[in-house]
Amino acid sequence: MKQIGFSICLIVLLNGCYNNAHLRTQKVLKNDEKVYSGSTTINISDEIYGDLQWPGVIGFRGEGSMLIGKPWGEVGLFGGLGIFDGGVGYLFGLDYHRYRWTKNGTGLKIGGQTEINIIPFTYESQPDGYALQFRPSISTITSSQKKLYGGLHGLYSIGRLTAIVWDWNEVEVQYSQTTYGFGAMVGAEFPFSKTSIQFEIDASLIKGKSHVDETFDNDYMARDFSTFIVSGSAGLNFYKPEKNKATTFGPYPKPITQLKQVEKKQIRFDPITGKEIIEDFGKQDFDPLTGKPIQKPQKESKQPTTFLGGTVSDITLDGGRIYKSVKLQSVTQDQLTFTLSKGVLIEQGKTINKNSTKVIDLEKIHSMTVYTNQRNVSGGVLGCIGGCAVGFITPILLGAITGIDELGVILLVTWPAGAIYGWNEGRKTKSPIKLPLKGLSTTERHTKIIESVKALNK
């Protein structure tokens, strides 16, 4: 028992050095699907810091997070508590990932996490302050058939901390700490009906450097460090499916349908008299020789077709297959026609190898998301300028307020990211319309599809 207790204490003391892991589900989330997760991460490494070297990013932590699925990927929030050498800190952050598939069908999540660590003052022997960490990553996707995953990650953090050191007497010293590195991850996720259990191991090589506001002669206060970190994480994910809420549409004009061709009237003659037989609709015709009713051949009825003008849409079928960014061509009372471009992504890593046209029954569609074809170029230009300005000025202001000059480096990422985000958002004229179609009749599905297209493109 004493050996077990000593081992636990050793793990806690060696933890808190630095965090290199965030445990998140590797499953593809459907649009508006939510997942709530709880996880614990423990990292074990060499003693990486002296009195003025701790990065301020807590390694031994418990996290709670929420992710929500989008047509293009997932976003979310997380928070938690961490322990570092007996002290306690708090952390909050954001998740962002996009889904991509390679040519061989491998699904990927590309994105990362951004977090802030807040270290409150506890007692004089422990540092206090805050630190920001950025962790970009790329990892493979899991499914009910594929439970193992792997990936790569990068690490970059900036800390501003205050510590008490001895230089003949107690001195309060403020220092800035920059840490960067890279690593790899491997893990497994075991899915159940509405939950999954997940385990992950992360290994990283990191290097750090401190900038101290005052100079000391003590040799033990080395400013730089480098080390290798290995961490283990375990967690539980709870999935909440998307809500099937009907989308409310206003009254729109009756859609223009393809006009039927007027068939030429065929003239029939009496075989005995040779006179023209006048059609009397609503009455039965009889054969003048036999006196029996004449059975008229039934003509095949043609369903009216409504053209949808190539409106872009994501289509989810009942079986789970997803067609992304297809172009809707036309819809009849029971069928939908659309075109798929080369490279269109389908769930579970399948892609379309060539341009093609597909026809599916309306009753097989689970849901759709319809996007507007119209783009506002002037709005995109203004959004690009605004996003670029915000992304450029914000890091400079944060650096001036906090006194951390290293924050200015962030603008190398924030201003192009702001420009791209502003361009995309500025070009949008209308929000996409989501169509939950499960449980509706084919007539109701037909009507909703037409109304949504008209609402976006009128």
DSSP per-residue codes, 182-246: EEEEEEEEEE-SSEEEEEEEEEEEEEEEEEESS----TT---EEEEEEEEEEEEEEEEEPPP-PP
Closest of 24, 232, 236, 231 to residue 137, by C-alpha: 24
- 331, with CB counted inside 10 A (0-12, 13-18, 19+), is buried
Closest of 352, 332, 349 to residue 340, by C-alpha: 352
| Cβ 66 vs Cβ 140: under 8 Å | no
In tens, the pLDDT along 44-60 reads 665 555 556 778 888 88
DSSP label at residue 163? E
Closest of 75, 155, 81 to residue 118, by C-alpha: 81
Write down the pLDDT at residue 74. Answer: 94
Write down the pLDDT at residue 382. Answer: 66
Give the residues of the chain that fall short of pLDDT 50.
1-16, 219-220, 246-249, 260, 280-282, 298-301
CA distance 228 to 309: 57
CA distance 185 to 26: 12
Return the axis-axis angle of helices 377-402 and 411-427, rounded to nearest 10°. Answer: 150
Write down the pLDDT at residue 219. Answer: 47
* Token reading at 148: 């193992």
Residue 256: CB partners within 8 Å, gap ≥ 6?
306
Residue 192: CB partners within 8 Å, gap ≥ 6?
none
Structural domains in the chain, sorted by start = 12-240 (2.40.128), 377-427 (no CATH)
CA distance 137 to 22: 10
DSSP label at residue 68? E
Hey, how many other C-beta atoms are within 10 angstroms of the C-beta on 16? 24
Q: To the nearest 10°, report the CA torsion of 160, 166, 168, 172.
A: 30
CA distance 402 to 419: 25
DSSP per-residue codes, 417-433: HHHHHHHHHHH--S--E
* Token reading at 244: 């099937």
Residue 127: CB partners within 8 Å, gap ≥ 6?
54, 56, 119, 161, 162, 163
R_g (Cα) of the chain, nearest Å:
32
| Cβ 185 vs Cβ 152: under 8 Å | yes
- Could you identify the residue written with the tokens 């077990």? 4
As beta bridge partners, residue 35 has: 67, 239
As beta bridge partners, residue 68 has: 34, 75
